[in-house]
Amino acid sequence: MKKFNIGTKLFLSYLVLIAVILLITTVSFRYLFQEYLVREAGDQLQKEGLQISEMLEDKRWNGERSPQNWLDRRRIELAGNLISSQFIIYNRDDDVIYSNVEEEVQTEYQENKGKSFVTEQVAINRSGEQIGSVVLFTKVESLVGFNQIIQQSQTISLIASAAVAVILAAFMQRGLTRPIRLLAEHMRQFSMKKRQQPLTLQTNDEINELAETFQGLTEQLYKYDLDQKEFLQNASHELKTPLMAIQGNAEGMLDEVIVGEDIDASLEIIVKETQRLKKIVQDLSYLTRLETVEEAFEYERIDVNEVIHDALTSVKALADKRDITIIDTYEKSFFVTVDADKMTQALINLLGNALRFATTMIDVHVYQQKEFVIIEVQDDGAGFGDIADRVFDRFFTGDQKGSGIGLSITKTIVEKHGGHILASDSYIGAKVVISLPYSN
């Protein structure tokens, strides 16, 4: 099946539209103009008939006698000369008393007067009584001839208009399809290996919106590709450290370099690094499920203070062990629609990170701001400094401890709930602010 590009389809559609318009215009114009000519001819016949009737009504003719007994034939002939139409005058008995047409035409009219003639009949009255009538008529053929002249002029005008319209359509087709061709060529040249220059069309229409959408998509793809490369680099680095520790101690014991009491220490290192490796893999798997929406979220409307209480209960033992005081401030109940388990996990990760850097205290404050419920977590540590915008990146660890995945999980969970998370320094240390949509 032959393919047509969009420009050809638009051009052909435009030609079909022009043809339909010309056809409708021609047919309707011919019909309407024909009707107009017939109506105008009838009006003209009516006027001329009234002129003849008025001339005869002024005489003493009573409609019974032949006209030569009461009126000089020259007067009627003069009236006939003044009238351009063909007419017949009848007396009250419907006898023809005068006609300005030949007998053959008169006979043809009487046989076909309702078909091929435009006819008007005007009564001749005297003292309120009809004493005769004048019938005026003209052949429809004479009107058709004039109509054909008009139609020829119309046809020439329509052909000229169609030619101009086709030329304009060709220019419009090129102007419309050129941006599409540029965009298609830009898409064909897209490559993840080499970044393209942005395509600027400046057409201020849907094609320009499509180009901007494609440009936004390419930027997302480039960013995704960069993130994946960075993720693989960081993941390999994070996984390599425990694997090297496990491999080194295992080979030392196998080669009997590590013997005696050192074996127990090496085994402890192997177990510890294995657990660390396991946690990294689990966190990565969990984060991947969150980001790919494979992990189901079970939303429910609950008081956010309950979620915070569960998270604080989970880290209380660790806080007591490190002599860290957690201050929680709840103004009132604030309801949000969340997955309670996942939001609790997000807050545990956040509090766990704060416990690593806090000196003596952590402050958890909850309040409402417009349409959001705000959860602020502050510690009295050293703060984020110039790394505040990186703390949620995967595998980023400011102190080279931990896996660097916990805060990434927190950020993903918060965003899956339609919220936002922001890290900054406060007057006492580090501060992380979570904003969740308030549920009325």
**pLDDT single digits (tens) 68-82:** 544 445 555 555 555
pLDDT at 56: 67
Q: Whole-angstrom Cα distance, residue 401 to residue 209?
A: 46
Question: Where, residue-wise, is CATH 1.10.287.130 in the chain?
Answer: 206-291
Q: Whole-angstrom Cα distance, residue 170 to residue 183?
A: 20
CATH 1.10.287.130 describes domain 206-291: yes
Which fold would CATH assign to domain 300-437?
Answer: Heat Shock Protein 90 (3.30.565)
Which fold would CATH assign to domain 6-145?
Answer: Beta-Lactamase (3.30.450)
pLDDT in tens, 262-305: 888 888 888 888 887 877 777 777 777 666 655 577 889 999 89
Structure tokens at 409: 């999980």
What backbone phi and psi angles, to 5 degrees, belong to 110?
-65, -25
pLDDT at 126: 74
pLDDT at 187: 78
Q: Of 339, 327, 332, which Cα lies nearest the Cα of 376?
A: 327
pLDDT at 273: 81
pLDDT at 433: 92
Q: Of 356, 338, 359, 337, which Cα lies nearest the Cα of 348?
A: 356
Q: 361-369 and 325-330: which strand pairing?
A: parallel
Question: Where, residue-wise, is CATH 3.30.565.10 in the chain?
Answer: 300-437
Question: Where, residue-wise, is CATH 3.30.450.20 in the chain?
Answer: 6-145
pLDDT at 70: 44
pLDDT averages per 10-residue partition of the chain, 440 residues: 62 76 76 73 77 67 52 51 67 76 71 69 78 77 62 73 76 73 78 74 74 81 74 68 81 80 84 80 71 71 90 89 86 86 88 87 89 90 79 66 72 88 85 88
pLDDT at 26: 74
pLDDT at 60: 57
pLDDT at 194: 75
